[in-house]
Amino acid sequence: MTTPLSVSLLANKIPFHSIATCDARFLLALRGKGSERMLKFLSKVKIEFNPLDTGRTAACLEFLAQCNARRARDSNPGCQITVKRRTDNFDPQITVTFVNGTEEVIDAASTPAQDIREKILAKGRMLETEQMFREAGEAWPVMIPEAERKEPVIMGYKARKAEEKQ
């Protein structure tokens, strides 16, 4: 897999071992803070791709690396990760099943791994919020009354202070 960093290094004729080191650092940086929490929201991950179709499998491989990171695995050891290597002309896809049972199929040919991770984290935050409201005995989804939606927005302290000076 060549990253933008390794492409620029290849253009400048940097030795291969330097490229491999930079790619490894680049991938470690991508795995950063969000990837260790990502599996917390998932019960199953199924990654399907054709390994010979190198142009379209980058997101699958990077997402698999993020899922196999030690911190990610430690966050949810019960998450099942399945990899299916295909030999047909099948578009690479990632199927994730959230802890509440909802399943989402993501087209990995057109979606970068970072966007996939961000989608999962956003949905996970929504699941956490829903759980907090249900535990507090509040209805979900939260319905804002029409009258409150039409009320004028109250300006903050700093804005009011600026008006007083005029």
| Cα radius of gyration rounded to whole Å, the chain | 22
- Torsion, Cα 57 61 62 68, to 10 degrees, reads 160
**Extended strands (E) in the chain:** 42-49, 80-85, 93-98, 103-107
31-35, 46-50, 138-142: which has the minimum mean pLDDT? 31-35
Domains of the chain: 1-30 (no CATH), 34-165 (3.40.30.10)
**Of 25-29, 120-124, 137-141, where does the model show the most confidence?**
120-124
Is the pLDDT at 95 greater than 90, yes or no?
Answer: yes
3-state SS class at 96: strand
Contacts of 112 (CB under 8 A, 6+ apart): 59
Q: What angle do CA 79, 80, 81 make, to 5 degrees?
A: 115
Considering the entire predicted model, what is its pTM? 0.65
At residue 73, φ and ψ (nearest 5 deg) are -65, -35
48-52, 137-141, 149-153: which has the minimum mean pLDDT? 149-153
